[in-house]
Amino acid sequence: MSDFLALTLAEARDGLRRRDFTARELADAYIEAMAAARALNAYCAETPEQALAMAAAADQALAAGNAGPLAGIPLGIKDLFCTKDVLSQASSRILEGFKPRYESTVTANLWRDGAVMLGKTAMDEFAMGSSTETAVTGPVTNPWRGEGSNKNLVPGGSSGGSSAAVAAKIALGATGTDTGGSIRQPAAFTGTVGIKPTYGRCSRWGIIAFASSLDQAGPIARTVRDAAILLKSMAGHDPKDSTSINAPVPDFEAALSGDIRGLKVGIPKEYHTTQMPAEIEALWQQGIAWLKDAGAKIVDVSLPHTQYALATYYIVAPAEASSNLARYDGVRYGLRVNNGGGLNDMYAKTRAAGFGKEVKRRILIGTYVLSAGYYDAYYLKAQQVRTLIARDFTEAFKTVDVLLTPTAPSSAFGIGETTDPIAMYLNDVFTVPASLAGLPAMSLPAGLDKAGLPLGLQLIGKVLDEETVIKVGGVIERAAGFAAAPKPWWRS
C-alpha cells in the first residue's frame, strides 16, 4: 500500500482489519497530508500527537482483535464539537483559548469506536454562514477550482473546514453540523457526501449551540457507504440531551442494498425555482432518470409552504441563537475585555470584540423577533409556519418514500464574492425545509457544472428513515459514477 490517501473509509477499515497496514501508517500519511495542505486553512487546530496516540491504541486493539468499527480511521472534527483539552472555539474569537474539560457525546462515540482525531476543522463563526469565510482563523479555501481557473472558491459552510478536508483527502471523514444546510451545502460544493440525520438522532450534548431546535450533527465523507459507517458510530440516544430520540440505531451500511425497485420517489414541484441555473435543473432531471432506470417510481408532489421556509428559518434560528449566545459574556471563560468600566461595559466590549459581524447581525435579528410587541408577528408566526412546513412533508410522505431535490442553487462561488447577507442566505433555500421539519437528508455529488465544479443532489427521508435515504443515495452514486477529484494545487 503506497497511496493511503486514495482509500475510502470503508477500504481503509477493511485494510486495517486485514492488517495490510497499520493505523500508525495511515495516521502518518494523513498527518503529513494535513500539514502539507495548510494553504487550504481547513484545520483551525491540528492534533498530530493525539492522532498518533489514538492510532497506537487502535493498532493494539486491532492486534488484540477487539477493535471498534472505526479503529484507526483518521477524522477531522468540526470546531463546534467540544473536545476535551483541545481548543474548541466554534471558530469565534469570543471563545479564544477555550479548552473544554469534557468531550461531546458524538466525538466520544467516535473515539469509543476507535477513530483517530487529526484536528479541529474551521467553520463559519458559530456555524452561521454558508461559505466558511467568517472563521476567526480566516476563510477556508475549497480544494476545487474551476477548469483552468486559479480563483479561490469557498468550500460552502458552515462545515467548510470539514468538507474541504474530506475533498482534499486530508481527512478520511469528518464531522459536521447542520442547522439549515451546513453539512449538505458544503458537501455539494466539494463533491463529498454529507448526511444531516433526523433531528434527535445524534446527541447535541457538547456541541456548541447555534439554534437548538435545528442543530444536528452528521458526517461528511467521500462515499455514501463511508458516511453511513460514520453515522452509525455518531448516532444514538443520549440521556444528557432531552431532545435526543430513544430509538435503536440501525446498521446504516447494510441499507446499501442497491435495490430500489418499486420505491416511490417524490419530486417537489416548488423546488423548481426560476432562479435555478439550467444545469442544476438538468442534473436534477438526470437524477430522476437514474432512479427511474433503477426501478423507482417517480411521483410529483407538492410542498406548498416551501416558499416561506427561508424566512421562517431566518427568524427561528436567530431567535434561538440570540439566547444561546448570551452565555458568552466574558464572566467565566473565553475572551474578556474589561477596562474597569463595570459589568455592562464589560459585556458590551467583550461581545463587541468577540463576535464577528454575521453573528452580531443574527443576535440582533433574534433579539428583535423575540421582543415584546414583535414576538407574535415574527417568532410566533414563524413557529406556526414551521408547523405547516412539517405538515407538508408529512402529507407528501403519505404517498412517497423519499424526496429528490438539488442541494444548492449554485456551485461553489469565489471567496469574498458574496457580500450581501440575503444573497448568502439564499444558499440554504433547498436545505432549510428539511431542517425545519427535522427530517433526515443527504447531499451527494452527482455531476460537474460547465466550470468543472461539483454539484450535489439532495435526498430527504421520513423521520428516522435514514436507511432509505442511504439506499437511494447509493443507487445515484453508482449511476453517477462521480470520479472527479480536485487537482492538489495546494500541496506545499
Partner 1 sequence: MAKLIEGATGSWEVVIGMEVHAQVSSNAKLFSGASATYGAEPNSQVSFVDAAMPGMLPVINEECVRQAVRTGLALGAQINLYSVFDRKNYFYADLPQGYQISQFKHPIVGHGRIMIEVEGETREVGITRLHLEQDAGKSLHDQHPSLTYVDLNRSGVALMEIVSEPDMRSSEEAGAYLKKLRTILRYIGSCDGNMEEGSMRADVNVSVRRPGEPLGTRCEIKNVNSVRFLQQAIEYEARRQIDIIEDGGKIDQETRLFDAAKGETRSMRSKEEAHDYRYFPDPDLMPLKLAQAWVDKVAKTLPELPDAKRDRFVADLGLTPYNASVLVAEKESAAYFEAVLAELTAVSGKPAREVATQVANWVVGDLFGALNKAGKSIENSPVSAHNFAQLQKLMVDGQISGRIAKEVFEHMLATGDEPAKIVAEKGLVQVSDSGAIAAIIDEVLAENADKVAEYRSGKDKLFGFFVGQVMKKTQGKANPQLVNEALKAKLSA
Q: How many residues bind partner 1, per CB under 8 A? A: 45
Q: Which of 64, 65, 101, 376 binds partner 1 (CB under 8 A)?
A: 101
- Interface with partner 1 in residues 350-409 (CB under 8 A): 367, 370-372, 375, 379
Helix (H, G, I), strand (E, B) or coil at 308: helix
**Does residue 21 bind partner 1 (CB under 8 A)?**
no
User: CB of 52 within 8 A of CB of 30?
Assistant: no
194-233 footprint of partner 1 as x/- string (CB under 8 A): ----------xxxxxx-xxx--------------------
Q: Mark whether 443 is an active-site residue.
A: no
| Sheet arrangement for strand 402-406 | 43-46, 116-121, 74-78, 173-178, 216-221, 193-196, 441-448, 454-461, 402-406, 264-268, 297-301
Binding mask 311-330 for partner 1 (x = CB under 8 A): --------xx-xx-xxx-x-
Total residue length of the chain:
492
Q: Closer CB to partner 1, residue 59 or residue 320?
A: 320
- Alpha-carbon gap, residue 388 to 303, rounded angstroms: 10
* Residue 485 one-letter amino acid: A
Closest approach, Cβ 364 to partner 1, in A, equals 13
Question: Could you say which of 162, 182, 410, 443 is catalytic?
Answer: 182
For 229, the enclosing helix (H) or strand (E) is: helix 224-234
For residue 158, indicate whether it is catalytic: yes
Tell whether residue 240 is a contact of partner 1 (CB under 8 A). Answer: yes
Task: Look at the alpha carbons of 418, 419, 423, 428 in this order and tell me if their dihedral is positive or negative.
Answer: positive
Q: Is 110 in the site for partner 1 (CB under 8 A)?
A: no
Active site residue 78: yes
Nearer to partner 1, 243 or 286 (CB): 243
Please report how close the Cβ of residue 411 comes to partner 1 at its closest, in angstroms: 33
Nearer to partner 1, 130 or 350 (CB): 350
CB of 370 to partner 1, least distance (A): 4
Find the shortest distance in angstroms from Cβ 166 to partner 1: 23
Helices marked H in 296-418: 309-324, 343-354, 357-370, 381-396
Which DSSP string corresponds to 136-170? TT-PPPPS---TT----B---SSSHHHHHHHHTTS
- Region at 448 (left for phi over 0; alpha for psi -120 to 50; beta for the rest): beta
Stretch that binds partner 1, among 99-107, 134-142, 261-269, 440-448 (CB under 8 A): 99-107
Residue from 1, 6, 343, 364 in contact with partner 1 (CB under 8 A): 343
Q: Which is nearer to partner 1, 134 or 203 (CB)?
A: 203
User: What's the maximum distance between 2 C-alpha atoms anywhere in the chain?
Assistant: 70
Answer for the pair 446, 482: CB distance below 8 angstroms, yes or no.
yes
Q: How far is CA 471 from the centre of its chain?
A: 19
Q: Of the two residues 100 and 445, which places its CB atom closer to partner 1 in the complex?
A: 100
Residue 239 interacts with partner 1 (CB under 8 A)?
Answer: yes
β 74-78/116-121 pair status: parallel
The upper half-sphere exposure of residue 136, i.e. CA atoms within 13 Å in the direction of its Cβ, equals: 22
Q: Report the C-alpha gap between 10 and 391 in whole angstroms.
A: 37
Distance in angstroms (rounded) separating the CA atoms of residues 89 and 78:
10
Touching partner 1, residues 39-98 (CB under 8 A): 81-82, 88, 90, 95, 98
For partner 1, give the closer residue by CB, 209 or 294: 209
Helix, strand, coil percentages, rounded to 5, for the chain: 40, 15, 45
Q: Residue 37 or residue 207: which is nearer to partner 1 going by CB?
A: 207
Residue of the chain from 19, 38, 60, 102 that contacts partner 1 (CB under 8 A): 102
x/- mask, partner 1, residues 275-314, rule CB under 8 A, reads: ----------------------------------------
Nearest approach, Cβ of residue 327 and partner 1 (Å) = 4
Count Cβ atoms below 10 Å from residue 336 Cβ, excluding itself.
17
Peptide bond into 131 cis (omega under 30): no
**Residue 242 interacts with partner 1 (CB under 8 A)?**
yes
What are 368's three cell numbers? Answer: 428583535
Of the candidates 72, 74, 100, 155, which one interacts with partner 1 according to CB under 8 A? 100
Active site residues: 78, 158, 182
Q: Which residues sit at the interface with partner 1, rule CB under 8 A?
A: 81-82, 88, 90, 95, 98, 100-102, 104, 204-209, 211-213, 239-243, 319-320, 322-323, 325-327, 329, 331-333, 340, 343-344, 347, 367, 370-372, 375, 379
